[in-house]
Structure 1
């Protein structure tokens, strides 16, 4: 057998980022075979003579490390074939390198298999996020590599980094949602790693963090504006009622959608309560039905659609619900982004400002962790002002003494 030659070069065709695909050309006994490395680079950053990237930036170092590993892998496959007395041709060596003839696992197949398993373990809302990830990865493969699927062994840090960049720039997805998508993909790849389908973890160097999100709840005045606004459009009137109902009960969208008579009970105080296990966590929410919420339940007790569906409120799809809430915000002159999440935060903050204990708020919101409760029940300037005023009114503490103490 003659010697082998390995060459890396760029194809002239550019992708949307202006980069060229990097190709491997393998030559054995004068015969050539080529394959894409599923990597791209700007021509200005490619050293044609040295067949590698120029510079010492992190992405160039990663690329050059990959190119070196491709070379080493080909030489290793060549030695394995010599040891096993296999006939070495350009086709057989390339096939050995690509894993052709071996059992290959492809990324999209692995993701869809994981989706089927996950579907039986999570709630519908969570499952929709897995489907969204699947669609994003499929579109990314077409955008970045112009292929419908990819050998899972090709998934490395560069793939992860490029996918993250794609979500942020092409799909215009925010940091926290991008991180959630990539972490979900990480879970799937970790399973493939555990099963031996890949040898190294491509997420080892993926270091990103969630941005801290601060939600400014509605004030009591803003809730009253929304509650009292005259709205003639039926669909908006109904969505307004649902939003206000959550402000006074703290129910999540999923629990609001399934609310039926079986969850309404008479409490030890003789009043009506909502007793419902949260769809997301399984924790029990015990919610006293305040008069403002009772009025809304009364309004829809004979609603034909609700009766037909066996529910108490005319809940729409989450997408339509949130879209209509934006209209309501505009109609009511509220600049804050109206969502069920905001309504839950508003409920928790109302309770906190009324000096309701954290344990009671957690019971109402269905939160077993005090840190989760604290996230929803924020202390506002009104509460701070009230408590400071009470402190200053204590007989044995005067404002002069306070100033001197400082």
Structure 2
């Protein structure tokens, strides 16, 4: 029997039945999602570092030296253009209807929206820092419990939240109220 690209051996036929129809596309989506997630995390860390420098320069009502103020302004403008680029790239990924939605994608989309609000002064950068820590804990849980780095939203069940809550209490020694709050977000 002749297949489209090669000889159809029984092993190849079984392999084709076991692989999803859009296997290559799904793999590419996973790679793109992971790359975008890492870019968002790196940008958040860069923004938090800039914010720390800015807070130190303007602490206690101090007015920074004009050279320092110019340098901070340049860094902020650079971050602003990078944020616009990141948002346009991410919207092309988040807005695709046929793309499978995952838990990390949902968290990244929420973090990116919160980052935009924080960048214009509507939300606190301290809260953003806490949220990136929550994402880190969520990724640790996915690796610990399921040995995966992402989970499709259609596979998400109530048990997941219960297991995550238990993970926070037992493995991370988090207090009960803190664990409950982290499961709510």
Q: TM-score range by the shorter chain?
A: 0.3 to 0.5
Higher normalized contact order (CA 8 Å, seq sep 6+, divided by chain length)? 2
Calculate the TM-score normalised by the size of structure 1. Answer: 0.22
More strand by share: 1
More helix by share: 2
Q: Could you say which structure has the larger radius of gyration?
A: 1
